[in-house]
């Protein structure tokens, strides 16, 4: 099983040169963010990820979480690791200082989040869900709810969940049936069942704070009749101590393809008289509030795609360096060499490396834009950045996770037959990655959101602004000499044209033939990922070229940046025109068969 080493040098490059950490550090509330502080955080997080979390990853996969009589036992070593995690302050990194958080920018927490997920994805899911619950309560909770729950959730003493899905509903939240009956003292009794609840029950903390979607008795049908409630596992007394056990119980956990150490729970509310909860915000606005958590979670799941890709790449690279097989092509009678010398293995490794770096660059840039959207003093700048974040979250979630399956699968291929054996560990990355395109909204849900809410509804305003920024980089590439930059410029230009053509088709078709538009939604999402990822890789190559010209820093690192961007242009960006063709021309073949012809 490979070890995990946090790619701190690349993280620093992306944060400083592409995500503009200096600009983030000048935002109100971020004045103490210095390069030394950021480097120290990355170094310490890298050590914790590599030394504490990564060694538990394989054990977690092999042993898995266990359920018995309503209680879940986590993997041996999990509890000790979680205690270290919370005691070290990692749960509080980006949280509000008012409730014990450190108040650091999203850009920093994004890089740290990547480390947790690369080292041990199953472990990382617990703090991920807690972060989303904290965000929802911060923005919509009452003062009483905030004071009761947030300090201990921020400290990691308690964890949080979100409860949306039900057996009959799946992704159709309009079909939610869980009901909330008012008691009369500001509390409600909750009745219903929720499925696929990550860390809905565990032994890591004394209390779990569930955020639950349910319907009030007079609620309208559909999504407009859903409210959000806080339902703790244990009731909380006025002095903050734990009271009686609430009527919320885990009746089973799922047996999954991957992330075995993360308990995916079926939770029953109200089997013994009703689970006690309190309303978050206003009645019938629960889905709106839950999307606060959902967007946080969707970005975080996109980070899982990036993180698993990094881990699969490291694993495959280590094997390719060590595995000696065959002689080098063109060297007659030469010695046996490692498979790293074979052209197709190098192609596969470059595919893993380039896509991982593109995903990291895009995700960190979106993370920095989130900071700008929340903290910049200029309202117009905040709005511009928020529009960019809204456009790109489905791309980060959908593209990075779909990539992670391909990257992890290619990582298995690099291992050859050994990759198909569980002992080598490469297969775990593929199994773990497979869920990422499904939960927190499937790729189709992300793509439907992208073409509907984010493009058609606003007439393509934001995507047009992004295209303009990409055109600026294309023009800048034209001022740099060399075959590599000519190739990058050519591929980026073709990619931008492909996005323009696809956007024009969506805008022309969405309101007249919505089914035809939606046939191409997932290819369009991939197209956006490929081209915006290529945009960031081109920016990276330009920065690297300037550093080399000025003789600054590690020349080998910057040379590799240019070569990797060239590879991405030739092998990944080159797919863009074909994806646009599918968006524009793909509806007929998908929609013309009668049902009985399938």
pLDDT digits (tens, 9 = 90+) for 500-534: 999 999 999 999 999 999 999 999 999 999 999 99
Q: Model confidence at 175, in pLDDT bands (50, 70, 90)? A: confident
| pLDDT recorded at residue 289 | 87
- The answer to whether residue 165 sits within a structural domain is no
Q: Give the span between the Cα atoms of 147 and 240, in whole angstroms.
A: 9
Q: How far is CA 343 from CA 340, 346, 347, in A?
A: 8, 5, 6
Q: What is the mean pLDDT of residues 292-302?
A: 88
Q: Model confidence at 451, in pLDDT bands (50, 70, 90)? A: very high
- The answer to whether residue 469 sits within a structural domain is yes
Q: Where are the alpha helices (DSSP H) in 28-120?
A: 35-48, 54-63, 78-87, 106-119
3-state secondary structure of 261: coil
Asked if residues 272 and 248 have their Cβ atoms less than 8 Å apart, the reply is no
Q: Model confidence at 92, in pLDDT bands (50, 70, 90)? A: confident
- The answer to whether residue 519 sits within a structural domain is yes
| pLDDT recorded at residue 295 | 84
Q: What is the mean pLDDT of residues 428-450?
A: 96
Kind and range of the H or E run holding 535: helix 521-549
Q: Give the span between the Cα atoms of 267 and 269, in whole angstroms.
A: 7
pLDDT digits (tens, 9 = 90+) for 457-470: 999 999 999 999 99
| pLDDT recorded at residue 118 | 98
| pLDDT recorded at residue 296 | 84
* pTM higher than the cut 0.85: yes
| pLDDT recorded at residue 25 | 97
- The answer to whether residue 564 sits within a structural domain is yes
Percent of the chain scored above 90 by pLDDT? Answer: 93
Question: Is 440 considered catalytic here?
Answer: yes
Task: Please name the residues in contact with 457: beta carbons below 8 A apart, sequence gap of 6 or more.
Answer: none
Q: Which residue has the tokens 């909860």?
A: 277
pLDDT digits (tens, 9 = 90+) for 478-497: 999 999 999 999 999 999 99
**pLDDT higher than 90, residue 333:** no
| pLDDT recorded at residue 168 | 82
pLDDT digits (tens, 9 = 90+) for 132-150: 999 999 989 999 999 999 9
Residue 72's nearest CA partner among 178, 191, 205 is 205
Asked if residues 388 and 288 have their Cβ atoms less than 8 Å apart, the reply is no
Which residue out of 440, 474, 476, 500 is catalytically annotated?
440
**pLDDT higher than 80, residue 170:** no
pLDDT digits (tens, 9 = 90+) for 470-479: 999 999 999 9
Q: Which residue has the tokens 């039900």?
A: 166
| pLDDT recorded at residue 2 | 66
Q: Give the span between the Cα atoms of 75 and 385, in whole angstroms.
A: 41
Treating both helix axes as pointing N-terminal to C-terminal, what angle do 343-375 and 555-571 enclose, rounded to 10 degrees?
A: 100
Residue 124's nearest CA partner among 54, 28, 216 is 54
Tokens of 330: 């063109």
**pLDDT higher than 70, residue 305:** yes
| pLDDT recorded at residue 90 | 96
- The answer to whether residue 306 sits within a structural domain is no
3-state secondary structure of 512: coil
CA 69 vs. chain centroid, Å, equals 33
- The answer to whether residue 448 sits within a structural domain is yes
- The answer to whether residue 70 sits within a structural domain is no
Average of per-residue pLDDT values in the chain: 96
Task: Please name the residues in contact with 333: beta carbons below 8 A apart, sequence gap of 6 or more.
Answer: 327
Q: Give the span between the Cα atoms of 299 and 315, in whole angstroms.
A: 24
CA 152 vs. chain centroid, Å, equals 25
Domain extent, residue 559, equals 442-591
- The answer to whether residue 21 sits within a structural domain is no
**pLDDT higher than 90, residue 171:** no
Tokens of 527: 């197209």
Structural domain count, the chain: 1
Roughly how many angstroms between the first and final C-alpha of the chain, as a whole number? 43
Q: Dihedral (C-alpha) 129, 131, 132, 134: value to the nearest 10 degrees? A: 120
Beta strands in 483-578 (DSSP E): none
Percent of the chain scored above 70 by pLDDT? Answer: 99
**pLDDT higher than 90, residue 291:** no
| pLDDT recorded at residue 377 | 97
Q: Model confidence at 287, in pLDDT bands (50, 70, 90)? A: confident
3-state secondary structure of 405: helix
Q: Where are the alpha helices (DSSP H) in 49-167?
A: 54-63, 78-87, 106-119, 121-140, 143-155
**pLDDT higher than 90, residue 268:** yes
The phi and psi torsions of 238 (rounded to 5 degrees) equal -60, -30
Q: Dihedral (C-alpha) 411, 416, 421, 422: value to the nearest 10 degrees? A: -20
């Amino acid at each position: 099983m490979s070890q995990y080493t946090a790619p701190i040098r690349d993280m620093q490059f992306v944060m400083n040169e592409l995500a503009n950490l200096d600009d983030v550090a000048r935002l109100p509330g971020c004045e103490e963010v210095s390069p030394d502080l950021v480097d120290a955080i990355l170094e310490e997080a890298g050590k914790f990820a590599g030394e504490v979390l990564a060694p538990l990853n394989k054990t977690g996969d092999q042993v898995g979480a266990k359920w018995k009589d309503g209680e879940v036992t986590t993997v041996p070593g999990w509890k000790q690791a979680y205690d270290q995690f919370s005691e070290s302050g990692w749960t509080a990194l980006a949280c509000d200082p008012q409730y014990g958080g450190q108040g650091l920018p999203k850009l920093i927490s994004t890089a740290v989040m990547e480390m947790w997920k690369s080292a041990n994805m199953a472990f990382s899911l617990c703090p991920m869900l807690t972060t989303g619950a904290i965000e929802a309560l911060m923005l919509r909770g009452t003062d009483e709810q905030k004071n009761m729950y947030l300090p201990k959730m921020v400290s990691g003493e308690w964890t949080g969940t979100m409860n949306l899905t039900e057996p009959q509903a799946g992704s159709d939240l309009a079909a939610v049936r869980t009901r909330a009956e008012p008691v009369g003292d500001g509390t409600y009794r909750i009745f219903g069942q929720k499925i696929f609840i990550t860390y809905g029950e565990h032994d890591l903390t004394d209390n779990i704070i569930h955020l639950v979607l349910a319907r009030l008795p007079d609620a309208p049908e559909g999504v407009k009749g859903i409210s959000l409630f806080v339902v703790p596992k244990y009731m909380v007394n006025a002095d903050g101590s734990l009271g009686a056990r609430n009527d919320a119980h885990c009746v089973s956990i799922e047996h999954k393809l991957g992330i075995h150490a993360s308990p995916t729970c079926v939770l029953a509310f109200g089997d013994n008289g009703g689970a006690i909860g309190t309303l978050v915000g206003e009645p019938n606005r629960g889905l709106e509030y839950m999307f606060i958590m959902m967007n946080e979670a969707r970005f975080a799941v996109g980070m899982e795609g990036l993180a698993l890709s990094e881990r699969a790449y490291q694993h495959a690279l280590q094997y390719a360096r060590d595995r000696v097989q065959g002689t080098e092509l063109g060297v007659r009678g030469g010695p046996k060499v490692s498979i790293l010398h074979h052209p197709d293995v190098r192609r596969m490794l470059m595919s893993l490396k380039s896509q991982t770096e593109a995903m990291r660059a895009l995700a960190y840039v979106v993370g920095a834009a989130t900071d700008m959207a929340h903290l910049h003093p200029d309202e117009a700048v905040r709005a511009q950045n928020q529009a960019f974040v809204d456009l790109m979250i489905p791309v980060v979630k959908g593209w990075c996770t779909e990539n992670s399956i391909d990257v992890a699968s290619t990582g298995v291929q690099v291992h050859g037959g050994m990759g198909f054996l569980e002992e080598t560990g490469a297969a775990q990355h593929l199994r773990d990655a497979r869920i990422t395109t499904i939960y927190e909204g499937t790729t189709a849900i992300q793509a439907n959101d992208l073409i509907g809410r984010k493009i058609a509804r606003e007439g393509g305003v934001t995507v047009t602004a992004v295209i303009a920024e990409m055109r600026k980089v294309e023009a800048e590439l034209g001022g740099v000499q060399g075959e590599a930059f000519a190739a990058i410029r050519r591929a980026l230009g073709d990619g931008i044209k492909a996005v323009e053509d696809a956007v024009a088709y969506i805008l022309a078709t969405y309101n007249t033939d919505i089914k035809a538009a939606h046939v191409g939604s997932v290819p369009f999402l991939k197209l956006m990922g490929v081209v915006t990822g290529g945009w960031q890789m081109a920016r990276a190559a330009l920065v690297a070229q300037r550093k080399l010209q000025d003789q600054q820093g590690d020349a080998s690192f910057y040379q590799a940046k240019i070569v990797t961007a060239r590879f991405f242009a030739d092998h990944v960006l080159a797919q863009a025109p074909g994806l646009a063709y599918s968006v524009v021309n793909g509806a007929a073949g998908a929609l013309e068969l009668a049902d009985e012809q399938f």
